[in-house]
Structure 1
Amino acid sequence: MSAPAHRRARGRDLPARLLGVWGVIVFAFLFLPILVIVMYSFNTGRLLAAWHGFGFDAYASALGNDVITGAVITSLQAALGTALLASALGTLGGIALARARPRALWAAALTFLLAFTLVTPEIVDGIALLPWFVTLGVDGGLAPFNNGMVRLVIAHTAISMATVTFVVRARLAGMDRRLEEAAADLYASPLQRFKDITLPLAWPGIAAGGLLAFTLSLDNTIVASFIQQPGYTPWPVYIFSMVRVSLRPEVAAISTVMLVLTLLALALVGYVLRRSGESAGGVVKTFTGG
């Protein structure tokens, strides 16, 4: 290669290199704070920001604190209930939208409604849901709406259901309708067609959407702080209340445990998707709704 051509090649490579450096800086800015929290979870001091020494005292103290463990258990129970309910409702919505006729009015209205829930500020959701639960539970006499766990699951499901719906719809967008038509020609009932054809095809999207609903519920703070009841304080709300006093290493310890649990759940769903025949690119597209 001649010298001018070599210089032109290096000139074309320079923007790519600069973009690569910028990407490293952005990822460092995003993930270094998480790394710091993980490191300080092993702090033996009384305050999170003051490093005293390395040890597992924070983990032992957190696991022995009934208030902290109760908040964590509440968050996990609410996240699991949200994942199950949002997956069920989101699967039905995703299948309905995937099968809708082009320019169907009800499909456009449902898509708009779900998209609207995604962009609505959570403070608005919290303000709206609190009096609604009070109206149903206290004024209407519907006892389940007076239960703190039921409130958390319903509120978190209302927020995360749209995510599951769009992921499942994207998964089924390219489904060959002839598979179900062939099954119908072979006298398969609608339930059999759904169980043997539609559900297996939609399963990767359902798993990914359920995991997203789980994580969205796990870190929800604003809505949970409005609708929580005594005895049902989730972990994010507990941390938010601790910020106004002082952060202790126990908070970092449990946050690290929750991070590990989330990563394990993500790895498990990714493994299941790969075992079902999904490529690495297909797994990423499933999680992003592509």
Structure 2
Amino acid sequence: MTRTRPPVRPRPAEHRAGPRVPLVLALPAAAAVLVLLLPLVALVSRAPWSGAGTVLAAPEVGQALWLSLRCATAATLLSLVLGVPLAWVLARADLPGTGVLRALVTLPVVLPPVVGGVALLMLLGRRGLLGAHLDAWFGVTVPFTTVAVVLAETFVALPFLVLSVEGTLRAAPRGADEAAAVLGADRWYTFRRVTLPRVAPGVVAGAVLCFARALGEFGATVTFAGSFPGTTRTMPLAIQEAMERDPDAAVALSLLLVALSLVALVALHGRWAGRVLG
């Protein structure tokens, strides 16, 4: 009596080997990884580990770190208030000149940050377009204050949030919004209770990227806000100042800023963010 072999079941799709990467793509990809990774490896290899604790425990470092975290948080909150409605306009509103508006929103991403600082000075400086009136009418001076740091960080970081939320809005189907409108919901209610919860992943991702970008801002900040301890000297400015007197301290501070940025990105792509972003 011959035994029949059971039919061979196909391997589940998740266990199948993925497609092999062509060599013509693998080599440039590996080179790209090296371009991004080697500078960080060099930074870690040159770190003064034995004296890092002393450097990071200095009062001025804690002062700069606390200022950076406060200003980056404020810039992120301001970007959320301004950027989410702007993203909705770009994605859903049928207005003329939307393409030009999108280009203007994206412009700070490609501009040198120092140009943003100069532009903010021309707007809010004592002789600026609006700053002259603020000074003459209310005695308010914005440049070289903590408020100037927040505005500079918002200028350079806002586009990251807007583009992230706009992309999520464009990808989200409009069926639920249209159903809410048919049931009598006004646009504000639909935006708050239907649209916004559906695009929460894009809002979270954009907010994290916005915070990380604001945390590392240098050029616009030093131009518009200066570098005054306790008032405008954030961590990037403290690193630049340390580089002139103590390169080892600058390396230690740089690693701290890298760690903070890495924590923000891990929070975005980690398990919690994976559940939120679905």
Q: TM-score, normalized by length of structure 1?
A: 0.76
C-alpha separation in 1, matches of 2:32 and 2:103: 33
2:207 paired residue number: 210
Is 1:92 the counterpart of 2:46 in the alignment?
A: no
SS of 2:142 mapped into structure 1 = helix
| Alignment match, 1:261 | 260
Question: Equivalents in 2 of 1:105, 1:140: separation in Å?
Answer: 36
In the TM superposition, what is the alpha-carbon distance from 1:93 to its structure 2 partner?
0.8
User: Which residue matches 1:179?
Assistant: 176
Report if aligned partners of 2:56, 2:252 keep a CA contact under 8 Å in 1.
no
1:133 corresponds to 2:124? yes
Picking from 35, 38, 51, the partner of 1:29 is 35
SS at match of 1:113: helix
Report the CA distance between 1:94 and its aligned residue. 0.8
Which aligned runs of 4 or more in structure 1 are off by greater than 6 angstroms? none
Cα RMSD for the two superposed structures: 2.5
Residue 189 of structure 1 and its aligned partner are, at CA, apart by: 4.3
- 1:240: which partner in 2? 240
The match for 1:113 among 100, 104, 114 is: 104
Aligned counterpart in structure 2 of residue 192 of structure 1, from 176, 189, 195: 189
Shift of 1:38: 2.4
Q: Which runs of 5+ in 1 are unaligned?
A: 1-12, 44-54, 279-290
* Structure 2: distance between partners of 1:256 and 1:121: 24
Q: Percent identity?
A: 24
**Contact residue 94 and residue 168 of structure 1 kept, 8 A:** yes
Conserved 8 A contact 2:143-2:225: no
Give the Cα–Cα distance (whole angstroms) in 2 for the partners of residues 42 and 175 of structure 1: 49
Which amino acid in the other structure matches residue 38 of structure 2? L
Whole-angstrom CA distance in 2 between matches of 1:265 and 1:239: 20
Q: 1:122 Cα shift?
A: 2.1
Deviation per CA, 1:122-154: give whole Å up to 9, x if none.
222222212433232544535372572211111
Change in Cα spacing, 1:208 to 1:124, as seen in structure 2 (3 Å) is same
Query: Partner amino acid for 1:233?
Result: R
CA distance in 1 between partners of 2:193 and 2:37 (Å): 42
Distance 2:171 2:31 in 1: 37
Q: Give the number of equivalent residue pairs.
A: 249
For structure 2, the 5+ residue unaligned runs are: 1-19
Q: CA deviation at 1:81?
A: 1.2
Q: How does 1:25-174 map to 2 (within 5 A)?
A: 25-43=31-49, 55=50, 57-59=51-53, 61-101=54-94, 104-135=95-126, 136=131, 138-141=135-138, 143=140, 145=142, 148-174=145-171
Q: Is the 2:47–2:251 contact (alpha carbons within 8 Å) kept by the matching residues of 1?
A: yes
In 1, are the aligned partners of 2:235 and 2:253 still within 8 Å (CA)?
A: no
Structure-2 change in CA distance of 1:28 and 1:253 (3 Å)? same
Provide the secondary structure at the position in 2 that maps to 1:105: coil
Q: Residues 121 and 33 of structure 1: is their aligned pair in 2 closer, same or farther, counting only changes over 3 Å?
A: closer
**Distance of 1:277 and 1:156 partners within structure 2:** 26
Letter in 1 for 2:196: L
Residue of structure 2 equivalent to 1:288: none
TM-score computed with the length of structure 2 as normaliser? 0.79
State how far apart, in whole Å, the 1-side matches of 2:137 and 2:219 are. Answer: 25
From the superposition, tell whether residues 177 and 22 of structure 1 become closer, same or farther in structure 2 (CA, over 3 Å). closer
Give the drift of 1:201: 1.5
Deviations 1:230-249 (A, max 9, x none): 2321111122223233312x
| Cα distance in 1 between the residues matched to 2:144 and 2:219 | 18
